[in-house]
Amino acid sequence: MIRKLICLAWLSTLLGLLLPPAQAHAKTLRVCQSDPARYAYRIALVRQILAKTQARGTPADSLQPYASGPDPSQERCLALLRQREVDLVYLPPTAERLAEFDVVPFDLHQGMLGYRLLLINRRDEAVFAKVQTLEDLRQLQGGFGSQWSDYRLFELNRLPVVGANSAETLLAMLDAGRFHYFHRGLHEAWAELEQHAEKRNLMVAPNLALVYHNPVYLMFNKADTALRQRFEQGLAQMRNDGSLQALFKASFTDTISRAQLNKRRLILLEAGQDGADASQRQRPFWLN
Residue 270 burial (C-beta neighbours within 10 Å; 0-12, 13-18, 19+): exposed
CATH 3.40.190.10 in the chain, residue ranges: 28-111+215-259, 113-211
pLDDT tens per residue, range 94-153: 999 999 999 999 999 999 999 999 999 999 999 999 999 999 999 999 999 998 889 999
Question: 3-class SS at 219?
Answer: strand
Q: Does domain 28-111+215-259 have CATH number 3.40.190.10?
A: yes
Q: Evaluate whether 212 touches 268 at the Cβ level (below 8 Å).
A: yes
Strands 89-91 vs 142-145: parallel, antiparallel or unpaired:
unpaired
Rounded to two decimals, the pTM is: 0.83
Give the containing element (helix H, strand E) for 48: helix 36-52
Question: 3-class SS at 103?
Answer: strand
What pLDDT shows up at residue 36? Answer: 86
pLDDT tens per residue, range 165-213: 889 999 999 999 999 999 999 999 999 999 999 999 999 999 999 999 9
Fold of 113-211: D-Maltodextrin-Binding Protein; domain 2 (3.40.190)
Mean pLDDT (whole number) for 267-276: 78
What pLDDT shows up at residue 60? Answer: 86
What pLDDT shows up at residue 7? Answer: 47
The answer on pLDDT for 13 being more than 50 is no
- Per-residue pLDDT band for 274 (boundaries 50, 70, 90) equals low
What pLDDT shows up at residue 67? Answer: 83
Mean pLDDT (whole number) for 228-238: 97
How far lies 135's CA from each of 2, 95, 138, 151, 269, in Å? 88, 28, 5, 18, 11
Residue 231 burial (C-beta neighbours within 10 Å; 0-12, 13-18, 19+): buried
